[in-house]
């Protein structure tokens, strides 16, 4: 090794001319400078250009600064996919505050918890959610906690119930801001840009802190992993509060795209907006895509151009991927968590896959894939030895990430942060295998594995078999206590509208038929012993809440 001084480190330092912190705020300036008149946002009759989005975001930032909001402060938002939500992704960090997006389906007690835990000084809330917000604020007052200043959003596209809770409405608030305010770039790209709370299925939710550098990189990573062209028309079926909309508010600035806003997921409305605006791209959980697949053919008519869909979930069922192909939509499968800014792995397709039989294409595209170009590592490791598992498609380990697109950590929770980053990797808690080509395939969450007679049963594998039955709209499999085997699979099934049984006898017959169907696709010990028909509990992002189903089974077992 050379012992002389490295000339490339002498007199070659960072300065204002050659180094600026990476931040997605720069993407807004690019879009507004290069394509100022291009449509950036569509919401009902409203059209906003990229120049107008920047102006409104600057006004928001300026108005927040006038409230003495800045470095280290938190601004919470409880908003649907509307223009103020898109603007908050730029305007809040422009003030150097941190954007805290609240899940709009949380109960009042949890909203109160996250507002308090995050020390949110301001809350921008849509009138639709005022009943929950009002109770949450009352709880904070009763506990002697800080109550954030409320800025109401009265969306003209919303005509439902709800009241204003604060002294000022959003449009009036930003009108008082300075349109010439250039915004404040972060001093350090490691500075926090966002705070997103995990679902908290056990105990209180954890606050995931993400930084400007990771948000910038993942915003561009979406372009690369999806081969996103310039000026896409993107429909917001994915909640922007979920992992900051997988960073797509910032991605769309990078390609000067158009956001088509959507307050709620509705198949008829989605297809209508697709036809009206010639939508080219959308994202969502498997349940969103399944909703579109099962919609009446009349709703889907008239869409004769390529539509690209991105799907993410613990593992989208093979039947969903096959259904998208039948629909004619090109689906890209991605994988990630809140802690890695949303999608940080993608199932990158190979040219030769397109000529393979459909069943083989479904298997290949159903994998979680490998790291995106902006992530350094995504693999499956033995959590005890921290060695990569054999690439045999059989040996299970824990899926782990590392790289620039990984959170700073959990807010005010050093113990959980240290555990998550043990041995230099982010531990996802997901179990998976590695295929010979290095692609990851999820098998289950660690807590969802069913151990029956000493054998591990992947609930995802059983669910995949269930989804192949024509009557099944959605399915979830959990463990049921069994005196002989310890645990056996139990299936909760949400039926398609055209397969509802007429009476109890027909219901029993259908349940048995579904079990027999599983026996065709699975080893007998993996098949559910019981099928229960019900509407499955889901999060606002479409994820099935298995912990609620496990609680039902546990309660029934205790009674029995």
Lowest mean pLDDT segment, chosen from 94-98, 314-318, 392-396, 523-527: 314-318
Strand pairing class (530-533; 486-495) = parallel
Average pLDDT over residues 431-444: 91
Average pLDDT over residues 449-477: 84
With the CA atoms of 160, 294, 553 and 336 taken in that order, what torsion angle do they form, in degrees rounded to the nearest 10? -80
Given a contact cutoff of 8 angstroms between Cβ atoms, the answer to whether 316 and 343 are in contact is: no
Predicted confidence (pLDDT) at residue 70 exceeds the cutoff of 90: yes
Average pLDDT over residues 253-274: 96
Given a contact cutoff of 8 angstroms between Cβ atoms, the answer to whether 237 and 262 are in contact is: yes
Given a contact cutoff of 8 angstroms between Cβ atoms, the answer to whether 440 and 379 are in contact is: yes
CA distance linking residue 126 with residue 152, whole number of Å: 6
Average pLDDT over residues 135-160: 97
Q: The tokens 């999806």 sit on which residue?
A: 226
CA distance linking residue 442 with residue 521, whole number of Å: 19
Average pLDDT over residues 521-541: 85
Predicted confidence (pLDDT) at residue 129 exceeds the cutoff of 90: yes
Lowest mean pLDDT segment, chosen from 19-23, 43-47, 481-485, 504-508: 481-485
CA distance linking residue 391 with residue 396, whole number of Å: 10
Given a contact cutoff of 8 angstroms between Cβ atoms, the answer to whether 478 and 448 are in contact is: yes
Closest alpha carbon to 398 in 427, 438, 437 = 427
Residue 30 makes CB contacts below 8 A (sequence gap 6+) with: 253, 254
Confidence label for 453 from pLDDT (cuts 50, 70 and 90): low
Residue 369 makes CB contacts below 8 A (sequence gap 6+) with: 333, 334, 335, 345, 346, 347, 348, 439, 440
Q: Which two tokens stand for residue 426?
A: 């982010």
Lowest mean pLDDT segment, chosen from 58-72, 201-215, 487-501, 541-555: 541-555
pLDDT digit string, tens, across residues 168-213: 999 999 999 999 999 999 999 999 999 999 865 446 789 999 999 9
Predicted confidence (pLDDT) at residue 269 exceeds the cutoff of 80: yes
Q: What is the reported pTM?
A: 0.85
Closest alpha carbon to 335 in 352, 317, 315 = 315
Lowest mean pLDDT segment, chosen from 97-111, 463-477, 529-543: 529-543
CA distance linking residue 466 with residue 531, whole number of Å: 10
pLDDT greater at residue 203 or residue 246: 246
Average pLDDT over residues 492-498: 92
pLDDT digit string, tens, across residues 401-431: 999 999 999 999 999 999 999 999 999 988 8
Whole-number percent of the chain with pLDDT over 70: 96
pLDDT digit string, tens, across residues 289-299: 888 988 888 99
Predicted confidence (pLDDT) at residue 105 exceeds the cutoff of 60: yes
| Predicted pLDDT of residue 314 | 52
Predicted confidence (pLDDT) at residue 446 exceeds the cutoff of 70: no
What's the mean pLDDT when you consider all of the chain?
Answer: 92
Closest alpha carbon to 241 in 111, 369, 401 = 111
**Sheet of strand 486-495, all strands in order from the earlier edge strand to the far edge:** 472-482, 486-495, 530-533
pLDDT greater at residue 285 or residue 339: 339
| Predicted pLDDT of residue 322 | 77
Instruction: Count CB atoms within 10 A of the CB of residue 531.
Output: 26
Q: Which two tokens stand for residue 247?
A: 């960073």
132-158 as b/e: b if 16+ CB within 10 A: bbbebbebbeeeebebbebbbbebeeb
Average pLDDT over residues 487-491: 90
| Predicted pLDDT of residue 297 | 87
Given a contact cutoff of 8 angstroms between Cβ atoms, the answer to whether 333 and 359 are in contact is: no
CA distance linking residue 292 with residue 271, whole number of Å: 8
pLDDT greater at residue 459 or residue 65: 65
Confidence label for 540 from pLDDT (cuts 50, 70 and 90): low
pLDDT greater at residue 455 or residue 137: 137
Average pLDDT over residues 459-469: 88
Lowest mean pLDDT segment, chosen from 25-34, 208-217, 397-406, 461-470: 461-470
Helical residues (DSSP H) of 118-210, grouped into ranges: 130-142, 170-175
Confidence label for 279 from pLDDT (cuts 50, 70 and 90): very high
Query: Residue 502: enclosing H or E segment and its boundaries?
Result: none
Instruction: Count CB atoms within 10 A of the CB of residue 10.
Output: 8
Predicted confidence (pLDDT) at residue 396 exceeds the cutoff of 50: yes
| Predicted pLDDT of residue 285 | 81
**Whole-Å CA distances, 270 to 160, 231, 296:** 20, 20, 13
Average pLDDT over residues 314-328: 72
Predicted confidence (pLDDT) at residue 380 exceeds the cutoff of 50: yes
Closest alpha carbon to 193 in 78, 71, 83, 110 = 71
| Predicted pLDDT of residue 201 | 47
- SS3 state of residue 121: strand
pLDDT greater at residue 94 or residue 461: 94
């Amino acid at each position: 090794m050379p012992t002389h001084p490295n000339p490339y480190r002498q007199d070659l330092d960072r300065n204002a001319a050659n180094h600026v912190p990476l931040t997605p705020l720069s993407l807004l300036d690019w879009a507004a400078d290069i394509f100022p008149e291009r449509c950036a946002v569509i919401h009902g009759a409203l059209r906003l250009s990229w120049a107008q989005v920047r102006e409104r975001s600057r006004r928001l930032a300026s108005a927040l600064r006038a409230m003495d909001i800045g470095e280290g402060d938190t601004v919470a938002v409880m908003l649907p996919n509307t223009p103020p939500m898109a603007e908050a992704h730029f305007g809040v960090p422009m003030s150097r505050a941190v954007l805290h997006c609240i899940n709009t389906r949380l109960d009042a007690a949890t909203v109160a918890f996250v507002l308090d835990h995050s020390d949110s000084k301001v809350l921008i809330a849509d009138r639709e959610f005022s009943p929950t917000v009002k109770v949450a604020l009352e709880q904070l007052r009763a506990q002697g906690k800080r109550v954030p200043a409320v800025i109401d959003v009265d969306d003209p596209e919303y005509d439902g119930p709800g009241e204003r809770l604060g002294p000022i409405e959003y449009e009036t608030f930003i009108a008082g801001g300075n349109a010439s305010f250039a915004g404040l770039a972060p001093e350090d790209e490691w500075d926090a840009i966002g705070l997103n709370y995990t679902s908290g299925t056990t105990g209180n939710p954890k606050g995931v802190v993400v930084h400007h550098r990771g948000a910038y990189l993942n915003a561009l990573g979406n372009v690369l992993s999806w081969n996103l062209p310039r000026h896409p028309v993107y429909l917001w079926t994915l909640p922007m509060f979920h992992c900051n909309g997988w960073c797509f508010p910032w991605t769309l600035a990078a390609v000067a795209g158009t956001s088509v806003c959507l307050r709620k997921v509705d198949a008829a409305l989605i297809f209508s907006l697709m036809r009206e605006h010639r939508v080219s791209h959308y994202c969502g959980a498997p349940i969103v895509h399944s909703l579109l697949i099962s919609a009446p053919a009349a709703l889907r008519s008239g869409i004769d151009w390529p539509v690209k869909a991105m799907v993410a979930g613990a593992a989208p069922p093979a039947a969903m991927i096959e259904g998208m192909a039948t629909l004619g939509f090109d689906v890209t499968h991605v994988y990630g968590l809140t802690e890695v800014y949303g999608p940080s792995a993608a199932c990158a397709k190979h040219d030769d896959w397109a000529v393979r039989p459909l069943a083989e294409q479904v298997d290949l595209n159903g994998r979680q894939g490998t790291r995106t170009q902006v992530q350094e590592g995504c693999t499956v490791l033995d959590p005890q030895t921290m060695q990569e598992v054999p690439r045999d498609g059989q040996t299970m380990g824990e899926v782990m990430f590392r790289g620039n697109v990984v959170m700073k950590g959990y807010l005010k929770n050093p113990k959980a942060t240290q555990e998550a980053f043990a041995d230099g990797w982010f531990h996802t808690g997901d179990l998976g295998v590695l295929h010979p080509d290095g692609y990851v395939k999820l098998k289950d969450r660690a807590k969802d594995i069913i151990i029956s007679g000493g054998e591990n049963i992947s609930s995802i594998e059983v669910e995949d078999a269930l989804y192949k039955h024509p009557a099944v709209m959605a399915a979830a499999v959990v463990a049921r206590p069994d005196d002989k085997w310890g645990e056996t699979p139990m299936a909760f099934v949400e039926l398609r509208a055209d397969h509802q049984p007429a009476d109890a006898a027909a219901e029993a017959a259908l349940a048995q038929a579904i079990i027999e169907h599983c026996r065709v696709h699975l080893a007998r010990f993996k098949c559910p012993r019981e099928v229960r028909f019900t509407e499955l509990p889901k999060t606002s992002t479409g994820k099935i809440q298995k912990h609620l189903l496990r609680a039902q089974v546990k309660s029934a077992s205790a009674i029995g």
